[in-house]
Amino acid sequence: MARVAIVTGGTRGIGEAICLALQQQGVTVAANYGGDDVKAKAFTDRTGIAAFKWNVGDHQACLDGVKTVEAALGPVDIVVNNAGITRDGTLMKMSHEAWDEVIRVNLGGCFNMAKATFAGMKSRGFGRIVNIGSINGQAGQYGQVNYAAAKSGIHGFTKALAQEGARFGITVNAIAPGYIDTDMVAAVPADVLEKIVAKIPAGRLGQASEIARGVVFLTGEDAGFVNGSTLSINGGQHMY
C-alpha cells in the first residue's frame, strides 16, 4: 500500500516541490493550503494532487482537516510541516498581532498537525514527520524576532518529539533551508536580497526542489535511524 502524506502549505513554493517529489516516490499526497483558492486550483490542475484548505494555526481545523484527508486517502503516514508566513518588522515596530500570528502558524502549526496524526502513526508503528525550520531560526535575522523565534522553536520541538516517537517507528526531523527562490523570498527588497546572496558561498538562491530532496530522504522507508536531526540546506551560508 502506498504511504499517505500531508504537506502543509503544499500548493506553491517549497511545498509544491515537496508534493511533487513525494508523488514521484509513489506516495499518495494531500496538499494543505491556507486561503488562496485560485493558486490551489491551479496547483491541482497541473499536478493532479488534491488540495485541502485549513489554517494550520487553528487546532480544531487541523483535527478536522486530517480527518477529511484520511477519509479521502487513508491513514496518514507522513506529515511535512511546511506552511509558514512572515510578518517582519523590528521589535520596536512589531505588533502583538504580528508576533502571535507567526508563532501560531509557524510553530503552533507543527504542534497541531502532530497532535492530529501522532496517535495514528503510533498505533500503526510507522511515521515520518518533517518540520521545515529556517536558517533564520538557527542564526537569527534582523527584523524577524517572531519568525526566528518560531523557527528556532521548531528545532527544539523536533528534538523533543523525536524522543517520544522513536520507540514506535516514528521519526521527527527538521530541515533548515537557506534562501530559496519562492514567493516568500520575492517579497524581500531587491537591495537586501543582493546583500544576502553575496553571503551565500554557492553564489545563488536555492531551488525548492533542493529542499524536496531532503524531505524524500528523511521520509524514506530506510531512514528510520535518522531521528531528531536538522538537515541544513543552505548553499553553505551557515554551518550549524
The residue ranges that bind ligand NDP (CB under 6 A) are 8-9, 11-15, 32-36, 39, 55-57, 82-85, 105, 132, 134, 177, 179-180, 182-185
Q: Which of 125/192 has CB closer to ligand NDP? A: 192
Show the 3-state SS of 60-85: HHHHHHHHHHHHHHCCCCEEEECCCC
* Residue placing its CB nearer to ligand NDP in the complex, 127 or 235: 235
Q: Tell me the C-alpha distance between 153 and 106, whole Å.
A: 9
Whichever of 36 and 100 has its CB closer to ligand NDP, that residue is 36
Which one of the listed residues 33, 142, 147, 179 is annotated catalytic?
147
CB of 225 to ligand NDP, least distance (A): 25
> Smallest distance, Å, CB 181 to ligand NDP?
7
CA 26 to chain centre: 20
Q: Is 147 a catalytic residue?
A: yes
For the record, the C-alpha cell of 150 comes out as 518560531
Here the cell at position 135 is 536558517
Residue 122 Cβ vs ligand NDP, minimum distance, rounded to whole Å? 24
The burial class, CB within 10 Å (0-12 / 13-18 / 19+), for 186 is: exposed
Quote the CA–CA distance of 79 and 5 in Å, as a whole number. Answer: 6
- 172 close to 126: Cβ distance less than 8 angstroms: no
Pick between residue 170 and residue 212 the one whose CB is nearest to ligand NDP: 212
Residue 164 CB, shortest distance to ligand NDP, in Å, is 22
Q: Which helix (H) or strand (E) holds 30?
A: strand 28-33
Catalytic residues, by residue number, are: 147
